[in-house]
Amino acid sequence: MSDLNIALIYGSTREGRFCDTVAQWAYGQIRRHPRMNVDIIDPAVLGMSVRLERKCSDALADLKDRIRSADAYVIVTPEYNHGYPAALKHLIDSVYGEWQAKPVGFVSYGGQHGGTHAIEQLRQVFAELHAVTMRNTVTFIEAWKQFDHAGQLIHATLAEQSMRMMTAQLCWWADALRQARCNQPYAEIAT
């Protein structure tokens, strides 16, 4: 089977964000999979307008190309006030058809719920975009206590096991949906 292109999407643009630590851990885990190539998409460095654009700027065109070329997505998101960040919503809403018929996995972090409220809201958003979300996720409750100062997990076994399960499911769905899109473009039936 051919390699899969995975877009690893950062969910936060906050100054001093913890997202960098969690996303770098996720990147390292994804890179362990022999078939996965990773494209990091960080809304903090995209250079997009803060408002949804009517005209397609160079930054938006680049984002659309990167989302289109991905076979699957892993979203790393914090939970802010029982939801996901506005920057992530803006990134998602800036693109539409490029998400369709592709799988999405989640790595979340937060306080006592570990970002699970954000994931549940994102499932609704991606269902509307005709994307398939993975049942298994990776969550970090009180994440700042789970990583050391060098960004390494203190007790990695459970998180690594969860990540292996999610990436295996993501890989299966990415293969299945890529084949289905080759047999019949999803856009033909999506409208």
Give me the pLDDT at residue 191, please: 67
Is the pTM higher than 0.85? The answer reads: yes
* Structure token digits, residue 20: 């960098």
Domains of the chain: 4-190 (3.40.50.360)
Backbone angles phi, psi at 107, to 5 degrees: -125, 120
Q: Number of helices and strands (H, E) in the chain?
A: 6, 6
Closest of 67, 65, 95, 101 to residue 174, by C-alpha: 101
Give me the pLDDT at residue 49, please: 76
**pLDDT band for position 55 (50/70/90)?**
confident
Q: Which amino acid is at 24?
A: Q
Considering Cα of 43, then 46, then 52, then 56, what sign does the dihedral take?
negative
Q: What is the pLDDT of residues 168-179, one digit of tens each?
A: 999 999 999 999
Q: What is the pLDDT of residues 57-84, one digit of tens each?
A: 889 999 999 999 999 999 999 999 999 9
Q: What is the pLDDT of residues 30-43, one digit of tens each?
A: 999 999 999 999 99
Tokens 């070329």: give the residue: 69
**What is the widest separation between alpha-carbon atoms in the chain?**
50
Give me the pLDDT at residue 47, please: 86
Give me the pLDDT at residue 44, please: 94
Helix (H) or strand (E) holding 130: none
Give me the pLDDT at residue 54, please: 73
- First-to-last CA distance in the chain? 31
Q: What is the pLDDT of residues 86-127, one digit of tens each?
A: 999 999 999 999 999 999 999 999 999 999 999 999 999 999
pLDDT exceeds 70 at position 160? yes
- Residue 91: which residues within 8 A CB-CB, separation 6 or more? 9, 41, 43, 46, 48, 63
